[in-house]
Chain A
Amino acid sequence: MISVKNLCKSFGNIEVLKGINCEIDKGDVVCVIGPSGGGKSTFLRCLNMLEKPTGGQIIFEGDDLTDKKIDLNRHRQKMGMVFQQFNLFPHMSVMKNLTVAPVMLKNIPEEQAEAKALELLDRVGLADRANSYPNQLSGGQKQRVAIVRALCMEPDVMLFDEPTSALDPEMVGEVLDVMKRLAKQGMTMVVVTHEMGFAREVANRVLFLEEGVILEEGTPDEIFGSPKNERLRSFLAKVL
């Protein structure tokens, strides 16, 4: 579904990504782990071109997103993204947050978009908050709304950028539960995370990213059970 070829990204003189290659297939749940500053988030943000790569290609459903002539907005509709800081629209009610993009970009009638949004909200246990504003929600609720907002566009793949890092510990579980269910339903997911338990349990593939390169890649059993790379071993020793 997504194939990343020799992806490079520099900010000025600082090389953040130094040639990343990977394949993400339909139904994959890929977790990206690694130390802070290793380029995990940058890698994820390059996938939907929120960061413009300085080299390499990102082929999404057959189209090269780094091609200047491509209609990025149309492709982004199929790539949902969830941010560390939620980034809900504070001036809109929860319902409006969920329906603004589908109504505007996919020409779905308002009532139909609302019905769909309500159904998805119900699945994350927030149907009663449809008329609330983001500031009236807890962090965990905000993040669940943010996930639903992305889902309302019916994406083919979901990108998660440290979705639980800004949450109070007692709220991490509710967000991870939603993500687990999503994975079970067969959603293709790329998750940058520090939640090793989640990676171990839900991912079918784990990438260990450090200093701009993928040092090791494998199933959770391989990565967590028998890590080969020395750096990965010392990283796991610190976080587990």
Chain B
Amino acid sequence: MTLTVLYAASAVNPLSAWIAKLKDTFLTNDRYKELITGFLNTILITLGALCIGVIIGTLIAIIKYLAEDSRALKPLAWLCDVYLTVVRGIPMVVTLLIFYYIIFTSASDGTLVAIIAFGINSGAYMAELIRSGINAVDSGQMEAGRSLGMSRLQAMRVIILPQAIRYILPAIFNEMIALLKETSVAGYVTVIDLTYAARTIRDNTYDAPNTFLLVALVYLLLVVFLTRILRRLERRLGKNDKR
């Protein structure tokens, strides 16, 4: 009796039919938990890779900057160039597969491998962003530091980098947004990220529209949110312009 009523009601009301469908797709068997895991892993990979990327990028940028004036660093700078060329020349998915199936064959945790792979990939792009930020600082600043007796590294740390930050930070934030979307291929190495979670649910429910559109919406909202922070950041950095 109750069932018939429900059925009749849903037949005439597309909205409640859709809600029922959503309930079935996401609530049955606690499938939403998969999505939450995926969401958290996506965030985790993005932030982890970002940290690795910033560290690698900063190191490479500084090495390449210092190598312009130091013969001892030339081989190291050459190695950095090899890294940049190789990483930027290989698609992210392929890099990820290489890391998972060739380099870290014994890894039980695909998430960690993904963080490292995305981090190393991102580092190459960060290096160029940070280098252009460093180059945007007037060369007279380095000369002033050097004329006082600072080493290139000391001048870099207290004079150049603090000024370069305001060029670099917005670019890094942009890179983070790109990185967030790129992590959607993490499922290739069995990491349950947001996209992979959606596919699993689709495979179990055959409800493609609701799963994929929901996931698309989540990515979109995340990016909109991050972009807003970026805007605010750019405004703040502009305001602190003490020139």
Q: Are A77 and B149 in contact (CB under 8 A)?
A: yes
- The count of chain B contact residues (Cβ–Cβ below 8 Å) is 20
Q: Knowing A90-B242, A90-B243, A134-B242 touch, does A76 contact B158 (C-beta < 8 A)?
A: no
Closest residue of A by beta carbon distance from B140: A87
A123-163 interface (Cβ within 8 A of B): 133-135, 149-150, 153
A-B pairs with beta carbons under 8 A, tally: 66
Q: Are A105 and B150 in contact (CB under 8 A)?
A: yes
Interface residues of B: mostly helix, strand, loop or mixed? helix
Residue A69 CB within 8 A of the other chain:
no
Q: Are A48 and B162 in contact (CB under 8 A)?
A: no
Determine which of A73, A87, A89, A135 lies in contact with B149 in the assembled complex, contact meaning CB atoms within 8 Å.
A73
Interface residues of A: mostly helix, strand, loop or mixed? mixed
A48: chain B residues at CB < 8 Å are: 147
Closest residue of A by beta carbon distance from B154: A104
B141: chain A residues at CB < 8 Å are: 87, 89
A66-87 interface (Cβ within 8 A of B): 73-77, 79-81, 83, 85, 87
Chain A contact-residue range equals 20 to 34
Q: Are B149 and A74 in contact (CB under 8 A)?
A: yes
Q: Are A149 and B243 in contact (CB under 8 A)?
A: no
What is the CB-to-nearest-CB distance from A189 to chain B, in angstroms, rounded to a whole number?
15
Further contacts, 8 of them, CB under 8 A, given A50-B146, A76-B146: A48-B147, A73-B151, A79-B147, A87-B140, A87-B144, A101-B145, A101-B148, A104-B158
Residues of A at the B interface (CB closer than 8 Å) are 48, 50, 73-77, 79-81, 83, 85, 87-91, 100-101, 104-105, 133-135, 149-150, 153
Residues of B at the A interface (CB closer than 8 Å) are 138, 140-141, 143-151, 154, 158-159, 162-163, 241-243
